[in-house]
Amino acid sequence: MNREEERAIEWDCQKTMRQYYDYVDHRDFDSAANLFTEDIDWMSHGVALHGRKELRDGLQAALGEGTIRHVLSNTVVNVIDEDNAELDEYHTLYYSADQEYETVDGPIAFEGPHRIIDCFAALRRTPEGWRIAKRRAPIIFRHDPNEPVRLETWGKKEGKT
Amino acid sequence: MDREQERGIEWECQKIMRRYYYHVDRREFEKAADLFTVDVDWLSHGVKLDGRDELVKALYASLGDGTIRHVLTNSVTTVVDEDHAICRSYNTLYYSADAEYEEADDPLALEGPHRLLDSYAELTRMPEGWRISKRRSLIVFRRDPDEPVRLESWGKSKGKVPGQA
């Protein structure tokens, strides 16, 4: 593979990640889940999910209410071969557990980022395009470590932690 | 159109968006406005503007004083056809209404981002290159929702806020 082909893969994998967060932050969970492989191996906030169906349920439970924006930066894609790549980036999360941006009258008050996460993703080329096959996301900084977010609460209740 | 051509358009459109904020954050308002179509349809902070001339006036009024940095991330470009594309991004804004970075002796005090916006833009290929023909932005998070920014105050004073009596 030459460098031009690698750059094209780097570009397309970044697009898949950005597209995923555009969908998920705007509550389009079906479109978001379709950007993962059927056998997705997903772990974030201590919650482990396997397969698109579980992931779709987790997204709905975690982000069906409240408001979140995942701000992506520092993306580095390592191309493994023509059909596999790995991606690392930072996520700066802005979050309100209590208000929905679609229905609130005006902007939601905030004091700054809610948490900062190291994100790792393994992507695989499929007939539909590049899809996320594995995801890990440890929280590095957190505004209030004692305040659980919905994903954590749901994961414990469902035995997914 | 093949994927390689699409990637080329995605790159060019993202570059236009970044270039716009480079100019606007440095008060190069004419250069910033030249990245829009002459008949741009622009709505941000509740302020509706039509055309480049109105846009330049608003940029001077809202960003001629103070200091702003638009940190543009998460850009996803959807290619509609060879001459049209849509770009969605997030804009994290750092802002001071009271101090100009060109004249300050020291860095401006910072408590964190001032607001976070969902940004939407439609771009059209023109003879001079890709240009922004429509722009919408929604403030999702805001440090102090009760404190107006200059664009809002100017828009109200000029009757540019739709639905306002």
For the stretch A6-13, contacts whose Cβ atoms lie closer than 8 Å and that sit 24 or more positions apart, written own/partner, are A6/A79, A8/B3, A8/B4, A8/B7, A9/A77, A9/A79, A9/A82, A9/A85, A9/A130, A10/A77, A10/A79, A10/A85, A11/B7, A11/B10, A11/B11, A12/A129, A12/A130, A12/B3, A12/B7, A13/A77, A13/A85, A13/A87, A13/A123, A13/A130
- In this structure, is residue B152 part of a structural domain? no
> What is the residue range of B68's domain?
3-145
Residues B133/B122, Cβ–Cβ less than 8 Å? yes
Q: What is the mean pLDDT of chain B?
A: 95
* Any A CB within 8 A of B76 CB: yes
- In this structure, is residue B16 part of a structural domain? yes
- A window 138-157, beta carbon within 8 A of B: none
Domain of residue B39, CATH code: 3.10.450.50
Instruction: Please give the CATH number for the structural domain made up of A3-157.
Output: 3.10.450.50
Res. B9: pLDDT tops 80: yes
Question: How many whole angstroms from its chain centre is CA A104?
Answer: 24
- Specify the number of domains making up chain B: 1
Residues whose CB falls within 8 Å of the CB of residue B101, separated by 6 or more in sequence, listed in order: B67, B108
Nearest CA in chain B to A67: B140
Which amino acid is it at A8?
A: A
- B window 102-141, beta carbon within 8 A of A: 111-113, 115-116, 118, 138-141
Of B111, B116, B145, the CB nearest to A94: B116
Of B3, B116, B144, the CB nearest to A69: B116
Cβ–Cβ gap A8/B141 under 8 Å? no
The CA distances from residue A68 to A48, A72, A108, B95, in Å, are: 20, 13, 11, 21
In the predicted model, what is the mean pLDDT of residues A109-116? 94
* Any B CB within 8 A of A45 CB: no
pLDDT in tens, A60-91: 999 999 999 999 999 999 999 999 999 999 99
**Distance of residue A11 Cα from the nearest chain B Cα, in angstroms:** 8
For an interface test with A, the pick among B7, B79, B90, B144 (most A C-beta atoms closer than 10 Å) comes out as B90
Interface predicted TM-score (ipTM): 0.90
In the predicted model, what is the mean pLDDT of residues B143-156? 89
A-B CB pairs within 8 A amount to 72
Res. B5: pLDDT tops 80: yes
In the predicted model, what is the mean pLDDT of residues A132-138? 97
User: How do the domains of chain A map onto residue ranges?
Assistant: 3-157
Per-residue model confidence (pLDDT) at position B143: 94
Share of chain B above pLDDT 90, in %: 90
- In this structure, is residue B163 part of a structural domain? no
Cβ–Cβ gap B92/A21 under 8 Å? no
Q: Let me know the angle formed at the C-alpha of B146 by B140 and B150, rounded to the nearest 5 degrees.
A: 85
- In this structure, is residue B110 part of a structural domain? yes
- In this structure, is residue B158 part of a structural domain? no
* Any A CB within 8 A of B86 CB: no
Per-residue model confidence (pLDDT) at position B147: 83
- In this structure, is residue B154 part of a structural domain? no
The model's pTM: 0.93
- In this structure, is residue B27 part of a structural domain? yes
pLDDT in tens, B49-107: 999 999 999 999 999 999 999 999 999 999 999 999 999 999 999 999 889 999 998 99
> DSSP state, A126?
E
- In this structure, is residue B157 part of a structural domain? no
Separation of alpha carbons A35 and A16, rounded Å: 7
**A-chain residues within 8 Å CB-CB of B11?**
11
